[in-house]
Amino acid sequence: MIARELIQAVPKSDLHIHLDGSMRVATLIELAREQRVALPSYEVEGLNELVFKPVYRDLPEYLAGFQYTCAVLRSFEAMERAAFELAEDVIAQGVRYVEVRFAPQLLVPTGEACVRALKAVGDGLGRAARQHSTSPAMQQGEDIPFEWAIICCAMRNFRRGMGAYYDSLLDLLPGMAHKSLVATASLEAVHAAVVARDCHGVPVTGFDLAGEEAGYPASHHDAAYEEAHRHFLRKTVHAGEAYGPESIYAAIVRCHAERIGHGTFVFDDGRVYGRDIKDKAAYTDELAEYIATMRITVEVCPTSNLQTIPELAGDIRNHPVKRMIERGMAVAIATDNTLVSHTDLNRELALVGDVCALDLAGFKRLVLAGFKGAFYPGRYMEKRMFVRRAAERFERLVARFKRETANNGDGGKTCVF
């Protein structure tokens, strides 16, 4: 067992955290009162009992809370505040690199407003980074900077009532096939990301596809991903969370995915449905080997998966993360939604460290995999330097922890087991 104090102390990264799923519940209540958004309760305890539960029946119940968080994030001021507070919270947990993702089209009515939304979130994250830079630990050279980037999400599927943007698109293009509608929306999301990056200097480094997976294939978004590819946006896709290995395959082959969000069913040959695939076990094995060999990072969000995938029965021992690590995959542990899942990165790392029985070397590899898989906003050599600083900081903290535990008479053993 890796000591919880060490997990808290070492620098970490979170590559998969949603803005609208990671608000402070008190801020949600405050904004709802100001904006006259109806909530089931205006007390923290009441919302946690009725909406943001420790355990959910199914994915729809898990997703129900987003109707409230999205409703209060429809002003640029609220977006900036939520981003700033999210960054404050993860910094306090020892996170030193974060990629915040959100779908601006869920929050604003036009493509131009999407650009402003990306800028507002960037303003909030940047403000938190500057605040961290003035901390005593930074001033004394005992910490590393807090770095960040934004991933712009598109939705695999949408329907009327999900947001003003989608309603206006449905009104503007009545009768258009659903496939063409979602493709149009995704393409405009890419354009907003590129404009925010190139014209406003916002570090939007990646593009993502989120939402309902089963029945809404990534192929509907080929044009958007080709455009993202053309403009050198990095690419990730929610895949293998609610569908099988073929969804992950499509994300890699059709969307040029460099990372996979969740990937939980990567080994499940029982979820391979293609009639042309004769040997399903071989198909999943080759897919897993390709992901490992090509260093396609898998963004694993353990608690979220346990809450939304019934097959896991709420037990981390049923999660494939241990098998992923044993297969040599690049695994980055992430939180997904800290509010909805009542979690933080330290808790997620502890879950995985325990179930995988990681020693200190294994834990270090796991932590650094997140930094290495980052869609870092700077140049490659700058990223290498940042990863090196994180690794050096990790080693210094381990050495200090061993000395302190040795002085306490336990020989440092709690550091590892």
pLDDT in tens, 285-326: 999 999 999 999 999 999 999 999 999 999 999 999 999 999
The tally of domains found in the chain comes to 1
Q: Which of these, 220, 229, 309, 226, lies nearest to 263 by C-alpha position? A: 309
Average pLDDT rounded to a whole number, residues 337-342: 97
Can you name the residues that pair with 151 across neighbouring β-strands?
A: 101, 206
The Cα 335–Cα 91 span in angstroms is 14
CATH code, 331: 3.20.20.140
**Full residue range of the structural domain in which residue 186 is found:** 4-23+73-405
On whether residue 348 sits in a domain, the answer given is yes
Structure tokens at 294: 């090509």
Q: pLDDT (tens digit, 9 = 90+) per residue, 160-206?
A: 999 999 999 999 888 888 899 999 999 999 999 999 999 999 999 99
The Cα 269–Cα 285 span in angstroms is 9
Q: What percent of the chain has pLDDT over 70?
A: 98
Q: Which of these, 241, 249, 310, 246, lies nearest to 272 by C-alpha position? A: 246
Examine the pLDDT at 388 and tell me if it is beyond 70.
yes
Average pLDDT rounded to a whole number, residues 22-45: 97
The Cα 259–Cα 376 span in angstroms is 13
Identify the residue with better confidence: 211 or 224. Answer: 224
Is the entire prediction scored with pTM above 0.85?
yes
Average pLDDT rounded to a whole number, residues 20-41: 98
Q: pLDDT (tens digit, 9 = 90+) per residue, 111-161?
A: 999 999 999 999 999 999 999 999 999 999 999 999 999 999 999 999 899
On whether residue 411 sits in a domain, the answer given is no
Q: What is the mean pLDDT of the chain?
A: 95
- Distance from chain centroid for Cα 291: 19
Average pLDDT rounded to a whole number, residues 394-407: 90
Tokens 């094995």 map to which residue?
285
Structure tokens at 184: 């149009």
**What pLDDT is attached to residue 412?**
44
On whether residue 68 sits in a domain, the answer given is no
**What pLDDT is attached to residue 410?**
57
On whether residue 256 sits in a domain, the answer given is yes
Structure tokens at 223: 């044009």
Average pLDDT rounded to a whole number, residues 316-340: 98
On whether residue 352 sits in a domain, the answer given is yes
**What pLDDT is attached to residue 408?**
76
Q: State the CB neighbour count (10 A cutoff) for residue 14.
A: 29
Instruction: End-to-end CA distance of the chain: give it in Å, rounded.
Output: 4
Structure tokens at 31: 């904004």
On whether residue 295 sits in a domain, the answer given is yes
Confidence of residue 405 (pLDDT cuts 50, 70, 90): confident
Helices (H), 201-269: 222-230, 245-255
On whether residue 51 sits in a domain, the answer given is no
Confidence of residue 256 (pLDDT cuts 50, 70, 90): very high
**What pLDDT is attached to residue 182?**
94
**What pLDDT is attached to residue 407?**
80
On whether residue 303 sits in a domain, the answer given is yes
